[in-house]
Amino acid sequence: MWLFLGIIFSLGMLIPGRLSLKLQYDRDQVLHIVPETFQQVQHLQHLCSTLLLDLWKPLLPEDIWAGEDLHIRVPAPLVQEVKGSLDQHMISYKVLIPDVQELVDQSMPRERSSHRQVPEGYVYTQYHPMEEIYEWMTQIQKSNSELVTQHYLGKTIENRTMYYLQISQPSDKNKKIIWMDCGIHAREWISPAFCQWFVKEILQNYKSDPKISRFLQNLDLYVLPVLNIDGYIYSWKKDRLWRKNRSPHMNGTCYGTDLNRNFNSSWGSIGVSYNCSSEIFCGSGPESEPETRAVAQFIKRKKSDILCYLTIHSYGQYILTPYGSTTKPPSNNEELMHVAEKAAAALMGKYGTSYEVGSTSLILYNNSGSSRDWAHMIGIPFSYTFELRDKGTHGFVLPPAQIQPTCEETMLAVTTIIDYVDQMYFPGGAVMLTCNSLGLSLCLSVVLTWTVS
């Protein structure tokens, strides 16, 4: 009986909303468990698989390990059964989130105005639905036309337009590019919030901040505020915890591909699922999704000019380097780690928030088909994934009160990386490369004068 209810409620409870049915998570709980023995790991894997529990960390039952954090969302009808089973097997747990829906409700803006004044009246300390982000992009370009242009990138599976913003100071130089995308996973709302904050900070401070002023002389910033537009809209209108895009599979019986398992980097080899109902379904093939293709085709066209690829996610507080599909380090691993550690130190300096730095496969879990790995594999030397706040207290449902501190500290980390790249490639205005980046940078077709003493 409980198993049957678990299957029904594992995606939340359906209740009528004003316009449509909307998934609710009333009294669902998120539990934090650290299994201590192999037997406990086995039981937890069995429990998660048979009751179809929603794994938040890690994403696959087979990635549950002794001594490692496990975060699982338990539907309300199964809470007592799951806790009883954990007690029976002497598995300790802590309730991270006692009522998921309560947290979801708190993260929603209380009032929505259809006639906001943007960008002057735009509130960067709350989450915004896609229609407001579209409007913000249009207005930010109009208000900063000397610096910002909005460009077409492609179409989503539901035929919505993907735009990116280019921040560029007029120059006769052949400038290089920093790419940043946000919102590849729909439920990670703090990610698009950061992309918007980043653009706002650059535009407000480029004249007064010497670091920003310097790197904008040499680098253009390309910002994609929401990569997974269909999924993001779905997370606002139907299911706050939706992760994937909205591509239909199996004659419409299941939906969505994990876009960060869909890039052509060891695609489908590890840390994915071929089941379209899975949160980490990798799609029918590499770049099978229009959103992935739009990004990949654009990046491939520009790759000789792109020095750094940043992709913003949540949660966990990590700066992740390549690779996810192998523990073999990239050729410039030492430099990647050095820059990431500098960024993490800058971030910590603001509010004391601690970030872990390392390759995905070594400090998190194995995955393949990620945009970060793909960008590095095609020759972009600096490629990082940020996993923003927090470490699980709120998980994917970070309260709006944390938007500002999260964005402020992340801004310090990101500008540290950009500043490093700028100083390495443009010291005193001349293009140079460090030894560690040389091999990759040759792939970028950068013209060098290299003297061997």
Angle at 395 between CA 392 and CA 396, to 5 degrees: 165
Q: Which helix (DSSP H) or strand (DSSP E) does residue 255 occupy?
A: strand 254-255
Alpha carbon distance, N-terminus to C-terminus of the chain? 77
| Closest of 174, 253, 182, 221 to residue 415, by C-alpha | 221
What CA–CA distances, in Å, run from 74 to 115, 195, 275? 39, 31, 21
Which position among 279, 387, 408, 409 bears the catalytic label? 387
| Residues in CB range of 423: below 8 A, 6 or more apart | none
What CA–CA distances, in Å, run from 48 to 38, 55, 58, 75, 83? 15, 8, 11, 12, 13
387 catalytic? Reply is yes
Write the DSSP assignment of 150-215 as a string of letters: EEEEEE-TT-PEEEEEEE----SS--EEEEEEE-SSTT-THHHHHHHHHHHHHHHHTTT-HHHHHH
177-202: burial string, b at 16+ Cβ within 10 Å, e else: bbbbbbbbbbbbbbbbbbbbbbbbbb
Token duo for residue 283: 């799609």
| Closest of 4, 236, 279 to residue 133, by C-alpha | 236
390-406: burial string, b at 16+ Cβ within 10 Å, e else: bbbebbbbbebebbeeb
Q: Which residues are catalytic?
A: 387
